[in-house]
Amino acid sequence: MFFKSTAAAAAVLLFAIMFMVNDAIFTSAAPANPLTAEWTGPYGGVPPFDKVKVADFKPAIEAGMAERLAEVEKIAANTEPATFENTIAALERSGSMFDRVMTVYGIWGGGMATPDYQTLQREMAPKLAAFNDKIAQNEALFKRIEAVYNSPAKAKLSSEQERLAWVYYTNFVRAGARLDAAKKNRLGEINQSLAGLFTKFGQNLLAEENGQWIVVKDEADLAGLSQSLKDAAAAAAVSKKVEGAAGIILNTRSSVDPFLSDSTRRDLREKVWKMFINRGDNANQYDNNAIISEILQLRAERANLLGYKTHAHWRLENAMAKTPERTLELMETVWPAAVARVKEEVADMQALADKEEAKITIEPWDYRFYMEKVRKAKFDLDQNEVKPYLQLDKIRDAMFFVAGEVFNFSFTPVTDVPVYHPDVTVWEVKDKTSGKHVGLWYFDPYARDGKRSGAWMNAYRSQERMDKDITTIVSNNSNFVKGKPGETVLISWDDATTMFHEFGHALHGLSSNVTYPTLAGTAVARDYVEFPSQLLEHWLSTPEVLQKYALHYQTGKAIPQALVDKIKNASTFNQGFATTEYLSSALIDMKLHLAGSSKIDPDKFERETLASLGMPKELVMRHRTPQFAHAFGSDGYSAGYYSYLWSDVITADSFGAFTEGKGPYDKAVGKRLVDYIFSVGNTIDPAEAYRKFRGRDPKVEALMTKRGFPVSK
Work out the burial of residue 220: count CB atoms within 10 Å of its CB; fewer than 13 is exposed, 13-18 middle, 19 or more buried.
exposed
Of 644, 658, 628, give the one whose Cα is nearest residue 541.
658
SS3 of residue 427 by DSSP: strand
Handedness of CA 545, 533, 704, 580 (dihedral sign): positive
SS3 of residue 560 by DSSP: coil
Of 222, 713, 316, 243, give the one whose Cα is nearest residue 527.
316
Q: Which amino acid is residue 586, in one-letter code? A: A
Q: How far apart are the first and last CA of the chain?
A: 33
Angle made by CA atoms 11, 536, 25, in degrees to the nearest 5: 25
Kindly give the residue spans of alpha helices, DSSP state H, lying in 451-574: 493-510, 526-536, 543-549, 561-569
Cα separation of 646 and 633, whole Å? Answer: 22
Q: Are 632 and 507 in contact (CB under 8 A)?
A: no
Torsion angle of the four alpha carbons 305, 306, 309, 315, in this order, in degrees rounded to the nearest 10: -130
Cα separation of 121 and 260, whole Å? Answer: 34
Work out the burial of residue 385: count CB atoms within 10 Å of its CB; fewer than 13 is exposed, 13-18 middle, 19 or more buried.
middle
Of 149, 44, 135, 123, give the one whose Cα is nearest residue 98.
135
Cα separation of 133 and 141, whole Å? Answer: 12
- The radius of gyration of the chain's CA atoms, rounded to the nearest angstrom, is 25
DSSP code, position 251: S
Q: Which amino acid is residue 155, in one-letter code? A: A
Cα separation of 57 and 471, whole Å? Answer: 25
Of 592, 576, 579, give the one whose Cα is nearest residue 626.
592
Cα separation of 232 and 227, whole Å? Answer: 9
Cα separation of 634 and 637, whole Å? Answer: 7
Cα separation of 328 and 331, whole Å? Answer: 5
Question: % helix / strand / coil in the chain, to the nearest 5?
Answer: 60, 10, 35
Residues with a catalytic annotation lie at: 502
Angle made by CA atoms 588, 106, 250, in degrees to the nearest 5: 60
Q: Could you tell me how many residues make up the chain?
A: 713
Cα separation of 111 and 117, whole Å? Answer: 11
235 CA to centre of own chain:
27
- The DSSP bridge pattern shows strands 472-480 and 437-446 to be parallel
